């Protein structure tokens, strides 16, 4: 399979799953997919990040060498929301290295404060931030306050994740 051609062929879940299956646990193929994602080519980045997230869901350690670079991409202002959404989706399923926790929590907090962000992105940001904040009580409380402030004005995806977070924290 020629990944670039396959990504540009069509944007569908079926194609995404076929690409993820082709890559499986092959670090060389995964590296090729990541490089296509990081290429900066708008449509290619948008399409490559979806199979990246599926691969990482199955094989979380594949992403470790690229984490810093993908966080940088996700924080750019001019990227497609699908990129941010899928980066956050994959971050919720991995162990984040301690040296990146602060940057990622800050990124999640910025997203949570920005009501113009799509609710799916904000819902993933809640989960990623909550996963990191579990070990830091002060950050956990700050996250809860932020979520509670926004809760009355949000859509179901945000409310569902926020409610789970608040139940988890208050149940401790």
Examine the domain organization and report whether 117 and 164 are in the same domain: yes
> CA 134, 164, 171 angle in degrees (round to 5)?
65
- Residue by residue, pLDDT tens for the chain (172 residues) are 999 999 999 999 999 999 999 999 999 999 999 999 988 788 898 899 999 999 999 999 999 999 999 999 899 888 889 889 989 999 998 999 999 999 999 999 999 999 999 999 999 999 999 999 999 989 999 999 999 998 888 888 888 889 988 888 876 5
Residue 88 lies in a domain: no
Give the structural domain span for 139. Answer: 96-172
Whole-model pTM? Answer: 0.88
Q: Which residues contact 17 (CB under 8 A, 6 or more apart)?
A: 51, 54
Examine the domain organization and report whether 67 and 129 are in the same domain: no
Distance CA 49, CA 23 (A): 13
């Amino acid at each position: 399979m020629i990944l670039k051609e396959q990504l540009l062929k069509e944007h569908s879940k079926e194609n995404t799953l076929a690409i993820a299956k082709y890559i499986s646990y092959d670090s060389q193929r995964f590296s090729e997919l990541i490089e296509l994602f990081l290429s900066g080519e708008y449509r290619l980045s948008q399409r490559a990040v979806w199979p990246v997230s599926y691969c990482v869901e199955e094989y979380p350690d594949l992403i470790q060498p690229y984490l810093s670079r993908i966080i940088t991409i996700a924080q750019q202002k001019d990227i497609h929301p699908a990129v941010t959404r899928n980066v956050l989706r994959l971050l919720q399923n991995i162990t984040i290295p301690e040296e990146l926790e602060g940057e990622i929590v800050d990124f999640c907090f910025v997203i949570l404060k920005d009501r113009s962000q799509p609710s799916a992105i904000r819902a993933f940001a809640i989960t990623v931030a909550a996963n990191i904040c579990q070990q830091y009580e002060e950050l956990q409380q700050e996250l809860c306050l932020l979520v509670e402030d926004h809760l009355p004005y949000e859509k179901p995806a945000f409310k569902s994740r926020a409610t789970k977070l608040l139940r988890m924290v208050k149940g401790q």
